[in-house]
Amino acid sequence: MSMERMFFKGCFAASVALLFCGIRTAGQEKHLTAREVIGRIQAHVGVPWQAETVDTFKAGNPDEPVTGVALTMMATMDVLERAAASGKNLIITHEPTFYNHLDKLDVLPEKEKDPVLAAKLAFIAEHHLVVWRFHDHWHRRTPDGIEAGMAHALGWEKQQDAENQYLFTVPETTLESLAADLKKKLDIHVLRVIGNPHLKVKKVGLVPGASGFQKETLALERDDVDVLVTGEPREWETVEYVADAVTQGKHKALIILGHIPSEQAGMEECTRWLKSFVSEVPVEFVPAKDPFWRY
Ligand SMILES: [Zn+2]
């Protein structure tokens, strides 16, 4: 082979190598990582990022390329399985993955031996899942992202108080009818109510999730709240308080939706929002199932 030809061949090989190299580099650049998705969320959320927050990575490698995003109310085993089966590896969950608010594994006394925790961790590792929690900042938005999604799901946007987004004035109905309406609209199969079923109600405080006794009673203390609709109140706190109010003949009632149904639509809202600035990979809402059955 002449020197000239060898030179040409060499150049050709180098160009091909460069071409492939170039393509690979461009491809790698296009691979969105979990960390980049979260960076975009932080840039779009519209509230200052808090130093102290539960909105952090809980499992997996943040630099993992994202094949798809599954948003959910709670990263239950069932949700993780459904997300992985549909090829999505970034799970954005509103509530904890490991059974406590800070997702600390050592709250389980036998964390090394616990078979449920072990199976969940193994599934996450095996499927290269990355789990990130989105709780505090989604609530801190104006309006609160969860409340906005719930108001949308209930068709209550027009009934929402202009001053206080957690208060709604609905057309006057009975406690029983209101409970039936919530059950139907939110597709709940176990819902619990305290108060006279025939009580006339029109002023509703919607405080989803497990907001705690103080927030729940603050709503109930208001003259413009007939009924508090909540997710997961403590039975020896808010439940006992409302039971006492009812015994005392006060015009108060409590509807307990369950934690997941009380906030779930807020993460559906979050999915719509995330789709507006993440388009490279599929983004899907994976509803967590209400785990209870009725006896
Ligand atoms: Zn919440």
Query: What is the residue range of 124's domain?
Result: 34-141+263-285
Q: How confident is the model at residue 110 (pLDDT cuts 50, 70, 90)?
A: confident
- Whether 239 is in a domain gets the answer yes
For 172-203, the pLDDT digits (tens) are 999 999 999 999 999 998 999 999 999 999 99
- Whether 146 is in a domain gets the answer no
Task: Specify whether 56 is located in the same domain as 98.
Answer: yes
Q: Higher-confidence residue: 109 or 211?
A: 211
Task: Specify whether 121 is located in the same domain as 220.
Answer: no
Phi, psi of 207 (to 5 degrees): -120, 85
Q: Name the nearest CA neighbour of 156 among 188, 195, 127, 185.
A: 185
Question: Cα(214) to centroid of ligand 1, in Å?
Answer: 16
Task: Specify whether 226 is located in the same domain as 130.
Answer: no
Question: Cα(270) to centroid of ligand 1, in Å?
Answer: 12
- The C-alpha angle with vertex 69 and arms to 92 and 32, in degrees rounded to 5, equals 110
Task: Specify whether 49 is located in the same domain as 99.
Answer: yes
For 233-280, the pLDDT digits (tens) are 999 999 999 999 999 999 999 999 999 999 999 999 999 999 999 999
Question: Cα(13) to centroid of ligand 1, in Å?
Answer: 57
Task: Specify whether 38 is located in the same domain as 122.
Answer: yes
Question: Cα(102) to centroid of ligand 1, in Å?
Answer: 14
The enclosing H or E element of 204 equals strand 200-207
Q: Name the nearest CA neighbour of 283 among 98, 48, 41.
A: 41
Q: What is the pLDDT of residue 261?
A: 97
Task: Specify whether 50 is located in the same domain as 3.
Answer: no
Q: Is 5 helix (H, G, I), strand (E, B) or coil?
A: helix
- Whether 98 is in a domain gets the answer yes
- Whether 295 is in a domain gets the answer no
Domain count, the chain: 3
SS3 string of 45-101? CCCCCCCCCCCCEEECCCCCECCCEEEEEECCHHHHHHHHHCCCCEEEEEECCCCCC
- Whether 294 is in a domain gets the answer no
Phi, psi of 256 (to 5 degrees): -105, 110
Task: Specify whether 24 is located in the same domain as 46.
Answer: no
Amino acid symbol at 188: I
Task: Specify whether 209 is located in the same domain as 73.
Answer: no
- Whether 290 is in a domain gets the answer no
Q: What is the CATH number of the domain that holds 172?
A: 3.40.1390.30
Question: Cα(138) to centroid of ligand 1, in Å?
Answer: 8
For 58-108, the pLDDT digits (tens) are 999 999 999 999 999 999 999 999 999 999 999 999 999 999 999 999 888
Cβ neighbours, 10 Å, residue 55? 21
Q: Name the nearest CA neighbour of 188 among 93, 255, 105, 275.
A: 255
Phi, psi of 117 (to 5 degrees): -65, -45
Angle of the 145-154 helix axis to the 259-275 helix axis, nearest 10: 100
Task: Specify whether 105 is located in the same domain as 187.
Answer: no
Task: Specify whether 103 is located in the same domain as 193.
Answer: no
**Phi-psi domain of 212 (left: phi exceeds 0; alpha: psi -120 through 50; beta: other):** left
Rounding to the nearest 10 degrees, give the CA dihedral for residues 202, 208, 210, 214: -50
Q: How confident is the model at residue 26 (pLDDT cuts 50, 70, 90)?
A: very low
Question: Cα(44) to centroid of ligand 1, in Å?
Answer: 19
Q: How confident is the model at residue 30 (pLDDT cuts 50, 70, 90)?
A: low
Task: Specify whether 246 is located in the same domain as 269.
Answer: no
Question: Cα(208) to centroid of ligand 1, in Å?
Answer: 7
Q: Is pLDDT of 27 > 90?
A: no
pTM of whole model > 0.75?
yes
Q: Which residues surround ligand 1, an ion (CB under 5 A)?
A: 209, 263
Q: Please state, in angstroms and rounded to a whole number, the distance separating the CA atoms of residues 105 and 98.
A: 7
Task: Specify whether 53 is located in the same domain as 195.
Answer: no
